[in-house]
Amino acid sequence: MDNELRTALTRAGFTVRMTDERWAHITESHDYMAGYLDHVIETVEDPDWLVKGWNDEVIAMKKYPVHNFRERYLVVVYKDLPEGFVITAFMTSKHEKILKRGIIWEK
C-alpha cells in the first residue's frame, strides 16, 4: 500500500489522500511541481473554483501570484468521495480552458 504523505479536507467534507506514489507521479511528469505540495493541499481545501472532471473526478483550481510575467493557476484533479485521493496536479496559465468544462462552485 502506498504511504500517505498528506490529507486534505474537500469542500464536500471528504478527506482525500496524497500518497507518495501519486506525488512521485506528479513531480516526475511536472518537475516544476516538486516544491508545491503545500500549495496542492491548499488548492484542494480552499479552491477558487471547482470544475467538472472527465468522469467522476473534481478539478480544484486556485490562482497564485504572477510568475514569469504570467498569472498561474494550480490545478488539482481528485476523487471527491470517501477514501478519495489526488490523481494529478499541475500549473497552467490557461484557466479559461479548464473552466469551460463546467464550474461546479466558485469562490
- Report the pLDDT averaged over residues 74-91: 95
At 9-54, the pLDDT tens digits run 999 999 999 999 999 999 999 999 999 999 999 999 999 999 999 9
At 84-96, the pLDDT tens digits run 999 999 999 899 9
What span, in angstroms and rounded, lies between the C-alpha atoms of 27 and 70?
Answer: 21
What span, in angstroms and rounded, lies between the C-alpha atoms of 47 and 76?
Answer: 9
Q: How much is the pLDDT for 74?
A: 96
Supply the pTM of this predicted model.
0.93
User: pLDDT band for position 68 (50/70/90)?
Assistant: low
77 has which bridge partners?
59, 88
**Phi, psi angle pair for 85, to nearest 5°:** -155, 155
